[in-house]
Structure 1
Amino acid sequence: MRVETRTHLPISEKDFSQQVVDLARLLGWKVYRTWLSIRSPAGFPDLVLAKPGRPLILAELKTERGKLSPAQEEWLATLRQVPGIEVYVWRPGDWEEIVRVLRGGEGGG
């Protein structure tokens, strides 16, 4: 499967998120994302991706210039210390890495 990369065009976080979700589902991942986070703890990653035989993936998605909030940094630091999961901060420019990780290449979030 060939996946086109278009990093020269700006993309909103919402559209980027949908692209990652669509790719994950295409590759057989179950996807969880909070629909309305108003009553959820601040800073929890945007996506939880699960696939049998693979480590659980938690991904925070940002635009190229988007910055992590202190709550996001705290969650990510804690989650990176939990065995059996991979934690990523993905931006549109990371598309090739996202494809590699979701296809089954080496992790290393």
Structure 2
Amino acid sequence: MQLAQFLGYELRYHNPDSRRSQAGFPDLVLGSLSRRRVLFRELKTSTGRVRPAQILCMKILKLAGLDVDVWRPEDLQSGRIMRELRGDK
């Protein structure tokens, strides 16, 4: 969240208790007007499993052309999260 804020993402939504939300919706939604992008990310531990409801939701969001994926702790270490927040290819 701090990294997204630092990079200018005005919309930073993270549901701290997803048990009260619709099953499968991604944990994190980030949006930036200046970067013209919105990211939907499911947050998992290194060994966390993506559940069927999450897979279904991600497929539907991708079908609509949205940027949807899973982030794990190693993605921060590898620089992947920074690249995706910046919009690097």
TM-score of Structure 1 vs Structure 2, range by shorter chain: 0.7 to 0.9
CA contact (8 A) 2:25 2:57 kept: yes
Residue 64 of structure 2 is aligned to residue 82 of structure 1: yes
Normalized against structure 1, the TM-score is what? 0.71
Report how far residue 105 of structure 1 moved: 0.8
Distance 1:89 1:28, change over 3 A: same
Instruction: State the Cα deviation string for residues 6-48 of structure 1 (Å, max 9, x = none).
Output: xxxxxxxxxxxxxxx1111111112012243333211100011
Work out the number of aligned pairs and report it.
85
User: Percent of aligned positions with the same letter in both sequences?
Assistant: 44
Residue 57 of structure 2 is aligned to residue 64 of structure 1: no
2:63 alignment partner, SS class: coil
| Aligned partner letter, 1:88 | D
RMSD: 1.3
Normalized against structure 2, the TM-score is what? 0.85
Structure 2 CA distance for aligned equivalents of residues 94 and 35 of structure 1: 20
Name stretches of at least 5 consecutive residues in structure 2 with no aligned partner: none
| Aligned partner letter, 1:59 | R
Which of 7, 14, 23 is equivalent to 2:3?
23
Structure 1 CA distance for aligned equivalents of residues 16 and 47 of structure 2: 23
Residue 85 of structure 2 is aligned to residue 105 of structure 1: no
Structure 2 CA distance for aligned equivalents of residues 59 and 45 of structure 1: 5
